Chains A and B, each alone.
Chain A
Amino acid sequence: MGTITSLWDANMDMLSTTLINLYDPNWPINSRSPICPPHYTGEKAEIVHSIVTEGCEIDGHVENSVLAPSVRVEEGAQVIYSVLMPGAVVGKDAVVEYAIIGENTVIEAGAHVGAAPDGTEDWGVATCGPDIRIRSGAQVPAAAMIYTGGEV
């Protein structure tokens, strides 16, 4: 670990079925899970090449992403190549790409966090939160770090 990008990388590695066998019964992975019902995928949910777990409610599009417990992705929202921490909420039609969203952070409707790699050196994974609220329609660029309690 150590840098934001390596945290993101390590999470993305979980999506690779060859790199590490999470399902090996001889290597049980022990961690405390909160008690939540199984995750729910809605009528319009689209989840592809991603990891989702208990308590999540997915009504939007999730691609190449890793979701922690109790994450909510609303209808029309897109979560792409991102890591969402427990309790994160991505509002209607919001876009989260190449980002790490902290615990209980709320990305309001229509906001856009992060951007795809553009080949420049300035590019990086965007990070938000925990406990941050990104206001409706806000634009958070690649490599931005939004941490202080409050709103953008």
Chain B
Amino acid sequence: MRRYHGIIFAYHARPELRELTSARTAASLPFCGRYRLIDFPLSSLRNAGILNVGVIMQRDYQSLLDHIGSGKAWDMSRKNGGLRMLPPFGLPEYHNGNYNGTIEALNAVSTYVRGMEEEWIVLMMGSLCANIDLQAVIRQHEKSGADATAVCADHTPMGIHHRYILGEDGFVKKIALYREGESEGYPSLECYIMRRSMLVEMMDRCRAENLYLFHRDAMNLFLRDGGKMEIYIHRGYADVIKTVEQYYRASMDMLKAENRRQMFPAGRPVRTKEHEEVSTYYGEHAVARNSLIADNCIIEGEVENCILFSGVRIEAGAKLHDCIIMRNSIVGKGVELEYVIADKNVSFAPGVKLTGNPKLPTVVPKGTEI
């Protein structure tokens, strides 16, 4: 795919994700027992043969840098091109690296965008929880001859999202911003193929007019100028994770085989940073039902409807249900947890009981000892 260059926006740790993102961006949220959200857009690009990818970061990007490294896991560690991590550009005109919007972020790395050789750019959000068949999107895009293609979901997502309303010619005529629930048009997954020259033009105009939001400003400019945008409907599991509730729901959705089939199809594997680890051991009284369990765990208690990341210890007599327990956390003897999200390196002393709520799971921050 020599004519396409990827850009992933791994910025915006939104406050709605609470303690889960106090030390990381949404894109580096651990997901499904082994991955981080950014593995999905990275793998989608890689599976379409797009290996030249820039990752625009904002703040709190330490864990992202640590996870992605040189991009080797996605075959993006190359002598020519490959992965470029783009840390925040700290000039005052870019709010000292605290970008207010996607267009501002792009303008901050404008040298990078202008320096690309490719004609087309694929733009994706780092917190896009979907396995997109970008080869199919590109095929449709090239056939349509449109200036841009927007990837949409085939179902209305949980939280606030934008929607595209089509005109009679089949192209997008209008964007409806910040919708909730069902309404006219198709829900956006904030994933685009766009002509690079057009994007650069949009960036220039926005900067000149002090505009910085991609959908509200840039896309509306594009449409007003008569830009032709097609939509591609992604059939399969998809959401852009912005809140704890969405994160929890998306995680629990992975417990259903059909969703896993859509997120991890055989032909489009999801790659992640390699961790060579020991297999998981189940003890004499272990119970594990409807759960996803990573390697290097020791299960001696009971887990139901849970996601356990690697290195988790569930001691005898512990009972968990509907929980997400991240790396290296320890659940002591007789502990009872319901609707809890425990970040990494948390430990629950024997006998502790903690109950959350499916709509508002209790988030236990990294390193907490209870």
A47 within 8 A of B: yes
Number of interface residues of B (CB under 8 A): 38
* Chain B neighbourhood of A4, CB < 8 A: none
Do B278 and A33 have beta carbons less than 8 Å apart?
Answer: no
Do B279 and A31 have beta carbons less than 8 Å apart?
Answer: no
How far apart sit A43 and B291, CA to CA, in the bound complex (Å)?
Answer: 8
Do A42 and B290 have beta carbons less than 8 Å apart?
Answer: yes
A149 within 8 A of B: no
How far apart sit A40 and B260, CA to CA, in the bound complex (Å)?
Answer: 10
Do A47 and B286 have beta carbons less than 8 Å apart?
Answer: yes
Q: Secondary structure at chain A's binding surface: helix, strand, loop or mixed?
A: loop
Interface 0/1 of A25-45, CB less than 8 Å to B: 000111111011111111111
B184 within 8 A of A: no
**Residues 13 to 63 of chain A near chain B (Cβ within 8 Å):** 15, 17, 22-23, 28-33, 35-54, 57, 62
Do A39 and B280 have beta carbons less than 8 Å apart?
Answer: yes
Whether A42 contacts B264 in the complex (CB less than 8 A), given A37-B32, A52-B280, comes out as: no
Do A37 and B264 have beta carbons less than 8 Å apart?
Answer: yes
B16 CB → nearest A CB, Å: 26
Do B295 and A54 have beta carbons less than 8 Å apart?
Answer: yes
Do A38 and B282 have beta carbons less than 8 Å apart?
Answer: no
B225 within 8 A of A: no
Do A52 and B282 have beta carbons less than 8 Å apart?
Answer: yes
Do B295 and A41 have beta carbons less than 8 Å apart?
Answer: no
How far apart sit A47 and B289, CA to CA, in the bound complex (Å)?
Answer: 9
Do B33 and A29 have beta carbons less than 8 Å apart?
Answer: no
Interface 0/1 of B311-344, CB less than 8 Å to A: 0000000000000000000000000000000000
Interface-central residue, B35, B264, B281, by most chain A CB under 10 Å: B281
Whether A45 contacts B33 in the complex (CB less than 8 A), given A28-B276, A38-B294, A54-B294, comes out as: no
B196 within 8 A of A: no
Whether A33 contacts B290 in the complex (CB less than 8 A), given A38-B32, A48-B284, comes out as: no
Nearest A-chain residue to B313, judged by Cβ: A23
Do B271 and A35 have beta carbons less than 8 Å apart?
Answer: yes
Do A22 and B283 have beta carbons less than 8 Å apart?
Answer: no
B158 within 8 A of A: no
Do B276 and A32 have beta carbons less than 8 Å apart?
Answer: yes
B66 within 8 A of A: no
Do B269 and A31 have beta carbons less than 8 Å apart?
Answer: no
* Chain B neighbourhood of A45, CB < 8 A: 288-289
Contact of B269 among A35, A38, A42 (CB under 8 A): A35
How far apart sit A4 and B315, CA to CA, in the bound complex (Å)?
Answer: 34
Whether A43 contacts B290 in the complex (CB less than 8 A), given A29-B276, A49-B283, comes out as: yes
A and B contact pairs by CB, cutoff 8 A, 6 listed = A32-B276, A37-B292, A38-B33, A46-B287, A52-B282, A53-B279
Pairs A-B, 10 closest by C-beta atoms: A38-B33, A53-B279, A41-B288, A38-B294, A47-B282, A22-B278, A51-B279, A38-B292, A50-B282, A41-B291
Give the A-binding residues of B (Cβ under 8 A).
32-35, 255, 257, 260, 264, 269-272, 274, 276-296, 298-299, 307-308
